[in-house]
C-alpha cells in the first residue's frame, strides 16, 4: 500500500504551509511544466474548465516523478462525478460550494467505501494499480483528503460546523464567489475591504479550531500575507494568469 500513501494529506496533518499554482488549460504538458517549477502542489480545476476525468488522468500521469503534489477540484459535489476521479487514483479533493455540514458529509461519504460511505467498488482501477495493491481496501479511506470550499456568507457563518465534520481535512475560502455573494464583483471583487475582512476572519476562526485553511490569490503581496497569517494552502497565480499578463506585456512592449 506504500505506493498509494498520500503525502499531501500527511503534509497538511503535519501543519506544513503549502504553496501551489492553479491550472485551467486542461493540458498535461502544462501540468508537467508546472510540476517541475518547485511548487508544493498543482491545483487542477475541472469546475471552470472543459476538463473531465480523462483529462485529469493524463495530467496526473504527466506529474509522475515530480516532487509536486496535486489537488483536484471536481465540477460539483456529486457522488458519480467524484467516483470517476477516485477510480483514476485521485486522492485530494477540493469540493466546490459546500454550504452546510450536510454538504460536507455528502462529499466525505462519496470518497469512502461502505459502511463509512457510499463509494462504489471497482475491482481493477488506476486507484488500486488495477488490482495489484492487495491491501488497497484496508487503507484507501484513510488516505483520502477532502477540502471543503466555502464560497458564500451562509457557508462562512457555518465554517466551524463544516470544518468539524469527520473526514473534512481542511476548508478553503473562494474569494471570487464570496465577492459575488457580497455583491462586490464590480467594486473591487476579492480586493474589497469587506471581502478581505471576511477572509481574515475565516482564517482566524479556522486557526482557533485547529483546522487547516486555504485561500488563493493572484496578487503576490497578498499571497505572502496569507502565508504569514497562517494559511496552510496558498495558491498563487495560474497558467492562464501567466499567459495573459506576460502575453499582454510583451505585445505592448513590441508595439511601443
Give the position of cell 504527466: 62
Q: How far apart are CA 83 and CA 88, in angstroms?
A: 9
1 pLDDT more than 60: no
Q: What's the pLDDT at 3?
A: 55
256 pLDDT more than 50: yes
Residues 48, 139, 192, 246: which is the catalytic one? 48
Which one is the CATH code of 2-255: 3.20.20.60, 3.40.50.720, 3.30.2350.10, 3.30.70.260?
Answer: 3.20.20.60
- pLDDT per residue as tens digits for the range 159-189: 999 999 999 999 999 999 999 999 999 999 9
Are the C-beta atoms of 150 and 171 separated by less than 8 Å? yes
Concerning whether 48 is annotated as a catalytic residue, the answer is yes
Are the C-beta atoms of 148 and 172 separated by less than 8 Å? yes
Q: How far apart are CA 242 and CA 239, in angstroms?
A: 5
What mean pLDDT is reported for the chain?
Answer: 96
Instruction: Give the pairing of strands 69-73 and 41-45.
Output: parallel
Per-residue pLDDT averaged across 51-78, rounded?
Answer: 97
Are the C-beta atoms of 243 and 225 separated by less than 8 Å? no
- pLDDT per residue as tens digits for the range 193-227: 999 999 999 999 999 999 999 999 999 999 999 99
Q: What's the pLDDT at 196?
A: 96
Domain positions in the chain: 2-255
| Number of residues that this document lists for the chain | 256
Q: What's the pLDDT at 123?
A: 86
| pTM of the complete model | 0.96
Q: How far apart are CA 142 and CA 55, in angstroms?
A: 26
Amino acid at each position: 500500500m506504500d505506493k498509494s500513501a498520500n503525502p499531501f494529506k500527511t503534509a497538511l496533518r503535519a501543519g506544513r504551509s503549502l504553496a501551489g499554482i492553479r491550472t485551467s488549460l486542461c493540458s498535461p504538458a502544462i501540468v508537467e511544466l508546472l510540476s517541475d517549477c518547485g511548487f508544493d502542489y498543482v491545483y487542477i480545476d475541472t469546475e471552470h474548465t472543459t476538463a473531465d476525468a480523462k483529462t485529469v488522468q493524463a495530467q496526473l500521469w504527466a506529474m509522475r516523478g515530480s516532487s509536486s503534489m496535486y489537488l483536484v477540484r471536481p465540477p460539483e459535489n456529486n457522488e458519480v462525478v467524484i467516483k470517476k476521479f477516485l477510480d483514476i487514483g485521485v486522492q485530494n479533493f477540493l469540493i466546490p460550494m459546500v454550504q452546510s455540514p450536510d454538504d460536507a458529509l455528502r462529499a466525505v461519504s462519496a470518497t469512502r467505501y461502505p459502511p463509512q460511505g457510499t463509494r462504489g467498488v471497482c475491482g481493477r482501477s488506476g486507484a488500486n494499480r488495477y488490482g495489484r495493491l492487495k491491501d488497497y481496501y484496508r487503507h484507501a479511506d484513510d488516505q483520502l483528503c477532502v477540502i471543503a470550499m466555502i464560497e458564500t456568507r451562509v457557508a462562512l457563518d457555518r465554517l466551524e460546523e463544516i470544518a468539524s465534520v469527520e473526514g473534512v481535512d481542511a476548508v478553503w475560502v473562494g474569494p471570487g464567489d464570496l465577492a459575488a455573494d457580497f455583491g462586490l464583483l464590480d467594486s473591487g471583487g476579492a480586493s474589497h475591504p469587506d471581502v478581505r475582512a471576511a477572509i481574515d476572519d475565516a482564517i482566524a476562526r479556522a486557526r482557533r479550531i485547529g483546522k487547516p485553511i486555504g485561500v488563493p490569490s493572484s496578487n503576490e503581496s497578498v499571497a505572502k500575507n496569507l502565508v504569514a497569517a497562517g494559511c496552510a494552502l496558498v495558491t498563487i497565480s495560474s497558467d492562464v494568469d501567466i499567459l495573459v499578463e506576460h502575453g499582454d506585456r510583451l505585445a505592448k512592449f513590441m508595439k511601443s
